[in-house]
Each structure stands twice: as structure tokens, then as C-alpha cells.
Structure 1
């Protein structure tokens, strides 16, 4: 029987092309997300090399006109993905099994990593995770976003249960993002958030201008109990979505137009006039829906009391939602079930660490124009002795 052999050079060329296409696609998506969040314009590409097991590849790396965008796939000027632990944990956080992580590292870096090796790497995250969750925080944050997602967790002797993963994102007075904490509790409640806010205070957070949350019962009470001088902004996106679910399909488009007039008004007076129009048009047909907007109008329109440049990012929890979506992607890959509570926290930690690294040194959009106004609000709300 004649021997059959594979042309290894042809196979390596195919693998290199696949690696090139995947990496360039990811970088393109990264740039799209960056431009959507931070603004700016595309500025073509530049070429750089990356060493892989099948051989070197030439990549077209996207650029942004002001040079603020950098892909998270590799550090600028790095020529080989050498930080194996970080790479392995990033794939683990994305929901890839430990066996698959080992295979991918083997293809990219020319080494074989067993599932047990990757598992040990993940276990070594725990001390860093705990240090991250207990680290001292700043005294002052301009804005704090609070939200939760639900995950299925297996607990020994109890089986699988749906639990709430709480997340808190802070924006410093200089405009930088910090993940303040994440916790796993049986369910989401105002009481639960109150206890977690006390923990943030114990870790050093004394002064907050504004909390941005969804419409959870007891949330405003919990905030005022711990931070009586802070304001509460009810997420307008959550409120609009919940409203549309409570009106008939044939009315949804017209109701949405009226609500957009409220939340996109140029100032508070215009928003209140638009709210009166909404009330007059729909109060008879949807009395409870309209009453909910009127009752919470102060919290829904609180963003008008802050600098105009920052209003788009404080009228909703979208900043935190982007991070939550990353956690959900990992959850979905794991068929929505985690083998233990620690597994949930490890994934959130990996996502949080990557989130902070991605935005390190970058101010939130609008802060450059709003610094003086924010400082005046802080001085008025929290006067120094």
C-alpha cells in the first residue's frame, strides 16, 4: 500500500491564513466598539508581524485618527504573545473550555497546555480576585452605576439555582472607569444593594454625586440610607423598554416617539412639557404606565442637573451594560450554568480586569469639557471643612 503524506508547508499556510483572518476580524470589531463609545474617526491600518507556531503572519491593525485606539490582543510593539497566563485566562473568561484553551495555545504559541494546567492557572486567580474585591477605593466618585445579571450556579448538596451577580462601576472625578465590586447573592433586592453599598463605604467611598440604576424596588431608599447627599438617576433606557412591554403593540411606535421627546429634550423644562403631552395623550388608555413616569419624573430627569457634555452617559446604565454583556457571553458559552460559585466570580474578575485595562488612562467622553462644573457640584454638595 503506498504511503500517504501531507504537505506540511501547505497546511501551515492554511493555518496562518485562518489565524490572520480571525485576529483581523476581532481587531476590526474592537475599533468599532471603541468609536461607538469614545467617538473619533477611522484612519486606515498599519502592518505588523506576529509569531505563531505555523510561522509569522502579517496583520492589518486598525487605527483611529487621534491614536487613542489600541487592540487588546497584544500590547503595542509586542512581537509575540508571551503572556500565556493572561491569554489563557482571557479565553477562559470568554467561556472556552480548559481543554480548548490548551489546544488554542498550542496552535498559536507552539506549546501544549493540558486542561489540568489551565485549571491550575484559573485557580491561581483566586488570591488576586479576593485582593481586587477588597482593595481600598477612592474617597470620591462622580458617578456610580449599579446593575445585576442572573446566572445559574451549581452548589454542592443544593443543585443548580439561579442567583444574582451584582456589579458596581465607578467613574472617578477625573473621568476614569473603575470596577468597584462584584458579588454573588441569592437574588437582587434593594436590601441587598444597601448592604453592598455599606461595604463600598467601608472600603473608602465617602462622596458620590450620582447613582445610576434600573427601576428596582427599594433602590432609592438603599442609596439614601448610605449616601444621603447623593442623587439617584433612574435608567431611561430600562424605563422606556419596560413601558413598551406594557402597552399594546399597535401603540408602541407612537408611545416611543413621545418618550423619546422626553428623554432627548434639550433641557428639563422642555422634558417636562413633553411629559405633559405624553400624559395628556395616554393617561386614559394606560393610567398606570403614565403614573409611573410622572411619579419617577425627578429621578428620570435628574441628569439635566449635570453638565450637558455628560448627560448622554449618565441617563442610562449603558456603560455598565457593556461589561455585563461580556460576562453574559461567557455564561452563554458555558450553557448558562457554572459548576461552582467561584467559577462565576473568576469569570467576572477576568472580564473586570480586562475592562479596566482597556480604558486605563482614557477619560470618559465629555469629562474634558465638564471638569470645572463637576468640581463646583462636588464643592457645593460635599464642602470641605
Structure 2
């Protein structure tokens, strides 16, 4: 490959990509069949059935790949499909900015570089419709039994009625009884007809109800931060399911009640000791000790600890081996970090639909990555 690049320069790249992807797809089919070519194995779960050509338009031009086929069907190589949805969504977001006249010269240059040609409104509309149909089907797919439900919210900048506004992006993930992490749903909403608190509660209620209507059931615990409006919505839709506030954010919130920043390390250590206690009794004893300890030196902190922490020990009602997984929303925060990395490229979305498209495509790929990768909770029983 290096020799080809040295002799042909970038002209060699399409052929090299074709060879690498074809080889990866062959390896993926072999793994799927659980048998090498012509191998007789009791673990074999299908038979190879040749190849089918498929031409894909890339930034290096059109490349024709050889798609491995399986006689029994049901196989399509991730090596080719992976990444295409999110890249298309990103292209569309940038293209819409250009078409709707809200882009800069830099954005115009990016769209032409990504897509290879100038973008027309008709091309953008046609491509968006194709992708939106796939993403909507994924967002509305039926759900099943979930043991632990994680909820989080973030905001993206969206242009609406000639104004740049914040759009709430609500994301739900979960862990099923087999220990698999799942992306369950996403919602992007703008509202201007209600007060702030009612708007937040309405968003969360509609989102949670949509999860329930799609068949979500079996939850033992909901884990989230104390988002505005979520408490009322959670009690209305999933009133019988206990709630655990994210202990990481709870520890961060304690900083607002410190009389001196020099106390931060000491208070953080006391909170970690409570959260890492082996049982509820031990955590409550440590809490009472901390309340008394800071009664004089930090009375606001002492009162906050007494009023807010006791009911946040729900995690101790669950198996000890699950505590690390259910006491924070950290793995969902990692998902949001990846979403932010991509959305930052767009900056201000031209509309809410564009924002939902990119976030949905990225979350769909996150689910696929979890499916083929290792799980933080693999091997654990969630029949609690």
C-alpha cells in the first residue's frame, strides 16, 4: 500500500480503501458464520453465498465494493455501513445552513468539500427525507424490559423564527436484564407558550410517556440528575419506580454551600465515604457525623446535607455489585460528550429537525457500538 501511495499519490487511495473494506467485510462474515471458508464446524450458523457489488459515493469519488452475502440472509457488514448515517446527518446540517442563507463562506466551503458539488435545496430535501425515514423508524421502534433507566438533558443552539434559541435534547438509555446497555430514546423540543417550570415538566412528561407507549417496562430504578420538571413528570408517568439522583452531580452541588473553598477536598472525601459505604445504615451514620461536624464551621452545608442526602441513598436498596453502575449517570455523560463533539461543528442548527437528525444518527451508531463492544455490566445478573 505504501508503495502504491508513493508511486500514484492520492489517486491510489480509492483502490486501497476498496481492498481494506472488502477484506474487513470478509472477516466480518466469517465471524458471523462462526466458520472459516470450507470449514466444517458444529458452530457454523450459515453459509457464504458469494458477493454483490455496491457502488458508494465517497469524498474520494465512487468506489465499488464487494458485499459478502449469506445464503440464509440476515447479514450486512458493519464495516461498510458504520459511520455513514452520522456523516450524512452532519452533511445535511451544514448543507441546510447554506441553503437557508444562514451560513458563512466557511460553511459553504465545507459543504462543497464534503459533498463534492454545490448544494441545491432540492438535493438537500431529498437526502433529508431518505435519512429521516430511517431515523424515525429507529426512534419509534418497540421497547422492552429494562432494569435501570438513565435520563439526562442538554441544550443545543437552534435558529427559530430568526432567533437563536436553546432546544432541550432529552436522552434515555438503559440496562436490560441481560446486562446490555441500550439507547432507548431521544427528543428535541422547543416551546414558548408556557412558563419555564411548566415547559420543562411538559417536555419530560411527553418524553417519558413516549417511552412507556413504546413498551418500556420492568424498571427497578431511574437514575438522573435533578433536572427542572423531571421530578413531577417522573412521578406522573413512572410513579412507582424509585429514583436515585446522580451522586457525582450531588457532590458537585455541595460546593455551593461551602464558606471557604479550602474545605472542598475535605467535604468531597466525606461525601465519597458516604456514597461508598457498604450499606444504607453505614451511609446514614456517616451522614449524621458530617451534619454534626459542619454544624458550626459550615451551617449552610450542614443543613443542606441533612435535607438532601438521606433520600438520595436509594442505591443501597440494590445489590452491592450494581452500585458502581447505578449511582451516577457517568456513562450517559460520556455519550453526551460525543454528541457535543459533533454538534459543535454545526454551531447553530438551522432548525429543530436538523438537530434531531444529527443527534438521532449519532445515538443510533452508539447503540451499534455497544452491541458489538464490551459492556460495563457484562456478566452481571440484573434479575434483582
Shorter-chain TM-score above 0.5: yes
- The answer to whether 1:179 aligns with 2:178 is no
Question: Are residues 270 and 124 of structure 1, via their aligned partners in 2, closer, same or farther at CA, if it must alter by over 3 Å?
Answer: same
Paired residue for 1:278, among 290, 296, 312? Answer: 290
Question: Are residues 183 and 86 of structure 1, via their aligned partners in 2, closer, same or farther at CA, if it must alter by over 3 Å?
Answer: closer
Query: After superposition, what is the alpha-carbon deviation per residue over 1:220-275, rounded to whole angstroms, capped at 9, x for unaligned?
Result: 34323222321100000111112124423221111111111111223222222221
Matches within 5 A, 1:3-18: 9=6, 12=9
Question: Are residues 221 and 52 of structure 1, via their aligned partners in 2, closer, same or farther at CA, if it must alter by over 3 Å?
Answer: closer
Matches within 5 A, 1:22-171: 85-86=84-85, 88-89=87-88, 92=91, 100=110, 103=113, 112=116, 115=119, 120-138=126-144, 140-156=145-161, 158-171=162-175
Query: After superposition, what is the alpha-carbon deviation per residue over 1:94-134, rounded to whole angstroms, capped at 9, x for unaligned?
Result: 989685476468xxxxxx46545677544422112222222
Question: Are residues 359 and 290 of structure 1, via their aligned partners in 2, closer, same or farther at CA, if it must alter by over 3 Å?
Answer: same
1:258 maps to: 270
CA–CA separation in structure 2 for the residues paired with 1:245 and 1:304: 26
- Tell me the CA shift for residue 167 of structure 1: 1.0
2:246 maps to: 235
CA–CA separation in structure 1 for the residues paired with 2:292 and 2:363: 45
Q: Is contact 1:310-1:365 (8 Å) kept?
A: no
CA–CA separation in structure 1 for the residues paired with 2:86 and 2:217: 36
SS in 2 for 1:207: coil
Q: Is contact 2:244-2:314 (8 Å) kept?
A: yes
Q: Is contact 1:129-1:346 (8 Å) kept?
A: yes
- Tell me the CA shift for residue 316 of structure 1: 0.6
Question: Are residues 14 and 318 of structure 1, via their aligned partners in 2, closer, same or farther at CA, if it must alter by over 3 Å?
Answer: farther
CA–CA separation in structure 2 for the residues paired with 1:329 and 1:84: 15
User: Unmatched 5+ residue regions in structure 1?
Assistant: 1-7, 21-50, 55-74, 106-111, 378-385
CA–CA separation in structure 1 for the residues paired with 2:308 and 2:81: 52
1:204 maps to: 215
CA–CA separation in structure 1 for the residues paired with 2:82 and 2:366: 18
- The answer to whether 1:358 aligns with 2:366 is no
Q: Is contact 1:234-1:299 (8 Å) kept?
A: no
- Tell me the CA shift for residue 342 of structure 1: 0.8
CA–CA separation in structure 2 for the residues paired with 1:98 and 1:119: 17
Question: Are residues 311 and 100 of structure 1, via their aligned partners in 2, closer, same or farther at CA, if it must alter by over 3 Å?
Answer: same
Q: TM-score, normalised by structure 1?
A: 0.67
CA–CA separation in structure 2 for the residues paired with 1:90 and 1:333: 12
Q: TM-score, normalised by structure 2?
A: 0.68
Q: Is contact 2:278-2:320 (8 Å) kept?
A: no
User: Unmatched 5+ residue regions in structure 2?
Assistant: 18-57, 62-76, 96-106
2:341 maps to: 329
Q: Is contact 2:222-2:243 (8 Å) kept?
A: yes
SS in 1 for 2:147: strand
CA–CA separation in structure 2 for the residues paired with 1:321 and 1:199: 22
Query: After superposition, what is the alpha-carbon deviation per residue over 1:161-200, rounded to whole angstroms, capped at 9, x for unaligned?
Result: 1121111112212122222211123467344322321221
Give the CA RMSD over aligned residues: 3.6
Number of residue pairs matched?
304
1:318 maps to: 330
